[in-house]
């Protein structure tokens, strides 16, 4: 920040005395979310009120300011002040007024001056000019005690094989951090908050690119209530980044389980739509052509089949969406917080596809020559496709037929897989002209590379909704290459064909007796 801008900001800040007007801090951070000094002071205010979870959230937003001053002990030493939580908003205001003149609050005016006058030095320290500041995790002592959530219950937590608990932020890692810190002290071990990147337009979560760890919270229930923060990404703080290598297989396994669950869930829902009843056995999803919803099921999918059917039945009876996100509230918090306690992502049953909550569907963007497999606002896969310009119809369709080796060939004009759209002459299929992918050279059909169409064929059942239109997918994110050339997260296996989603062949899903005449 330029010196003149910093002075102007400090002058505006001093127009209100945060000690005389504590509510001003909350308003100020909303208007100036990048003002880390204000976040730090608000965190202190919450800590003084005994609201440790909210204090921890504010300290996390303060980032390097918290790092610099707490770890250099410029403010008071020892644990954060703890006061009984007020029983009502009136009592809260009264308590705050009393603290302004009490001996316990005498440190606050000095802290304000230190923070406002010493910010440049504090920022330099936090960026690593002093080794003992930037090395190792941050430590927040007594800011995250063992306590229940707003709903009054703490979830039973099953620990992954390496003791790590996973949480998916779903676009708001700060809110999730507040939840996780609120549960610190209920057990030892590390909790990791993950994130799928947002699309360039901010409307989608790009699961297809990666799901990466952001922050680790090391809880230490024995010997005191404390939580140490590990930072796994440089954009979170200007500090030493922890090695996330050991987390990669844990996250990969979690993602694979969720993908298997949503494919199975979508197939069960497709069966119900076609027949009017729920399947009773998993084999009903893998019948021979033309009822071949899926080519087969993995052992894991067969194991969770009863639970998936049960969850869908319960959802239908209750009228509630499957794996619905918890409600939110905004009362007395600088950011939205959920009423329900945070549950580790890796403790959810394998039959749950959460956060992939909605049935799989396909979007085809004729401008970008891209096909995306999505669940709600999450892009699970993205592939380059060949189209036919104005010959490719726009609108909504469903997959009405799936066939292996159309016309008895795996290397013919339709490649090794084909999926008819709404019983028309249009289809999504492979091609023996891979150079046409990314271009407008078809007669109206959607052409795909072999590895891509084979993976898509494994993942989508009959009745999958297909939408074709212009500009319906987000622009390429920074670091991604063109659709025709592939790139991070583009293509089979999220750009790694050797890691494609595969299913065993457990049925006869070819149709040698029919001559397919799709419009290629």
What digits encode the pLDDT tens for the residues 330-369? 334 344 333 444 556 556 788 989 899 999 999 999 999 9
Strand pairing report for 361-365 and 465-469: parallel
CATH fold, domain 361-469, is L,D-transpeptidase catalytic domain-like (2.40.440)
Q: Which whole number is the average pLDDT over 203-226?
A: 80
Q: Return d(Cα 484, Cα 65) in angstroms, integer.
A: 45
Residue 470 CB-density burial (10 A; 0-12 exposed, 13-18 middle, 19+ buried): exposed
Report the pLDDT value the prediction gives residue 178, as an integer from 0 to 100: 77
Exposure string for 328-340, b = 16+ CB within 10 A, e = fewer:
eeeeebbbebbeb
Q: Which whole number is the average pLDDT over 265-294?
A: 97
- Res 14 pLDDT > 50: no
- Res 45 pLDDT > 90: no
Report the pLDDT value the prediction gives residue 350, as an integer from 0 to 100: 85
Confidence of residue 133 (pLDDT cuts 50, 70, 90): very low
Upstream peptide bond of 60 is cis (omega within 30 degrees of 0): no
CA distances from 333 to 425, 450, 479 (A): 56, 51, 35
Confidence of residue 130 (pLDDT cuts 50, 70, 90): very low
64 versus 336: the higher-pLDDT residue is 64
Name the pTM for this structure. 0.71
Looking only at Cα atoms, what is the longest distance across the chain? 90
- Res 120 pLDDT > 60: no
Q: Return d(Cα 296, Cα 415) in angstroms, integer.
A: 20
Q: Residue 120 in contact with residue 309, Cβ under 8 Å? A: no
Confidence of residue 294 (pLDDT cuts 50, 70, 90): very high
What digits encode the pLDDT tens for the residues 372-431? 999 999 999 999 999 999 999 999 999 999 999 999 999 999 999 999 999 999 999 999
What digits encode the pLDDT tens for the residues 451-499? 999 999 999 999 999 999 999 999 987 655 444 445 689 999 999 999 9
- Res 315 pLDDT > 70: yes
Report the pLDDT value the prediction gives residue 169, as an integer from 0 to 100: 86
Task: For the chain, give the mean pLDDT.
Answer: 75
Give the torsion through C-alpha atoms of 264, 270, 276, 279, to 10 deg: -20
Q: Residue 227 in contact with residue 79, Cβ under 8 Å? A: no
Query: Angle at the Cα of 257 (from 254 to 260), degrees rounded to 5?
Result: 150
Q: Residue 401 in contact with residue 423, Cβ under 8 Å? A: yes
Q: Which residues contact 47 (CB under 8 A, 6 or more apart)?
A: 55, 80, 81, 82, 143
Q: Residue 414 in contact with residue 433, Cβ under 8 Å? A: no
Q: Return d(Cα 46, Cα 74) in angstroms, integer.
A: 19
Lowest mean pLDDT among 199-203, 313-317, 319-323, 452-456: 319-323
Q: Map tokens 């000690």 to a residue.
A: 19
Spatial CA neighbour of 55 closest among 77, 75, 74, 39: 39
Q: Which whole number is the average pLDDT over 308-327?
A: 79
Q: Return d(Cα 357, Cα 324) in angstroms, integer.
A: 7
Strand partners, 447: 386, 429
Q: Which whole number is the average pLDDT over 191-197?
A: 90
95 phi and psi angles, rounded to 5 deg: -65, -40
Report the pLDDT value the prediction gives residue 8, as an integer from 0 to 100: 55
Instruction: Please list the active-site residues.
Output: 429, 445
Percent of the chain with pLDDT over 70: 66
Report the pLDDT value the prediction gives residue 344, as an integer from 0 to 100: 60
Q: Return d(Cα 60, Cα 229) in angstroms, integer.
A: 9
What digits encode the pLDDT tens for the residues 231-250? 898 877 767 888 999 899 99
Upstream peptide bond of 290 is cis (omega within 30 degrees of 0): yes
Domain ranges of the chain: 3-70, 162-244, 361-469
Q: Return d(Cα 37, Cα 421) in angstroms, integer.
A: 57
Confidence of residue 252 (pLDDT cuts 50, 70, 90): very high
Report the pLDDT value the prediction gives residue 512, as an integer from 0 to 100: 92
Most confidently predicted of 32-41, 131-140, 464-473:
464-473
């Amino acid at each position: 920040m330029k010196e003149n801008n910093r002075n102007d900001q400090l002058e505006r800040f001093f127009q209100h005395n945060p000690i005389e007007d504590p509510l001003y801090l909350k308003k100020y951070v909303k208007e100036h979310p990048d003002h880390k000094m204000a976040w730090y002071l608000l965190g202190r205010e919450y800590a003084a009120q005994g609201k440790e979870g909210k204090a921890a959230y504010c300290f996390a937003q303060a980032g390097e300011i918290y790092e610099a001053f707490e770890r250099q002990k410029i403010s008071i030493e020892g644990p954060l002040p703890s006061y009984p939580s007020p029983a009502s908003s009136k009592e809260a205001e009264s308590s705050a007024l009393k603290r302004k003149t009490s001996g316990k609050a005498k440190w606050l005016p000095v802290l304000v001056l230190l923070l406002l006058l010493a910010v440049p030095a504090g920022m330099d320290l936090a960026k690593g000019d002093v080794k003992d500041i930037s090395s190792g995790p941050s430590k927040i002592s007594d800011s995250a005690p063992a306590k229940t959530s707003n709903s009054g219950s703490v979830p039973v937590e099953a620990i992954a094989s390496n003791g790590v608990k996973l949480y998916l932020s779903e676009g708001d890692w700060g809110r999730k951090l507040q939840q996780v810190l609120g549960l610190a002290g209920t057990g030892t071990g590390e909790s990791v908050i993950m994130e799928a990147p947002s699309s360039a337009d901010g409307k989608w979560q790009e699961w297809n690119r990666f799901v990466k760890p952001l922050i680790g919270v090391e809880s230490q229930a024995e010997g005191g209530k404390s939580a140490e923060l590990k930072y796994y990404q440089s954009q979170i703080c200007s500090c030493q980044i922890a090695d996330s290598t050991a987390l990669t297989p844990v996250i990969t396994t979690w993602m694979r389980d969720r993908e298997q669950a949503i494919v199975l869930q979508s197939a069960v829902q497709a069966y119900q739509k076609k027949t009017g009843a729920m399947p009773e056995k998993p084999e009903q999803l893998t019948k021979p052509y033309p009822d071949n919803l899926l080519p087969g099921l993995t052992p894991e999918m067969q194991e969770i089949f009863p639970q998936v059917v049960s969850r869908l039945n319960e959802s239908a009876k209750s009228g509630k969406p499957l794996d619905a996100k918890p409600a939110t509230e905004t009362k007395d918090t600088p950011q939205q917080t959920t009423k329900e306690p945070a549950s580790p992502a890796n403790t959810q049953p394998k039959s749950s596809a959460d956060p992939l909550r909605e049935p799989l569907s396909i979007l085809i963007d004729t401008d970008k020559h891209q096909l995306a497999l999505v669940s709600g606002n999450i892009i699970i896969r993205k592939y380059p496709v060949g189209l036919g310009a104005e010959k490719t119809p726009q609108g909504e369709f469903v997959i009405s037929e799936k066939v292996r080796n159309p016309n008895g060939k795996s290397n013919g004009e339709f490649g090794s897989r084909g999926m008819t759209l709404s019983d028309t002459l249009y289809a999504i299929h492979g091609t023996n002209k891979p150079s046409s992918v990314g271009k407008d050279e078809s007669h109206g059909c959607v052409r795909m590379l072999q590895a891509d169409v084979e993976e898509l064929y494994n993942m989508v059942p009959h009745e999958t909704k297909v939408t074709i239109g212009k500009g319906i997918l987000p622009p390429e994110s920074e670091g991604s290459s063109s659709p025709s050339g592939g790139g991070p997260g583009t293509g089979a296996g999220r750009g790694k064909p050797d890691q494609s989603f595969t299913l065993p062949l457990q049925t006869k899903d070819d149709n040698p007796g029919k001559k397919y005449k799709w419009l290629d």
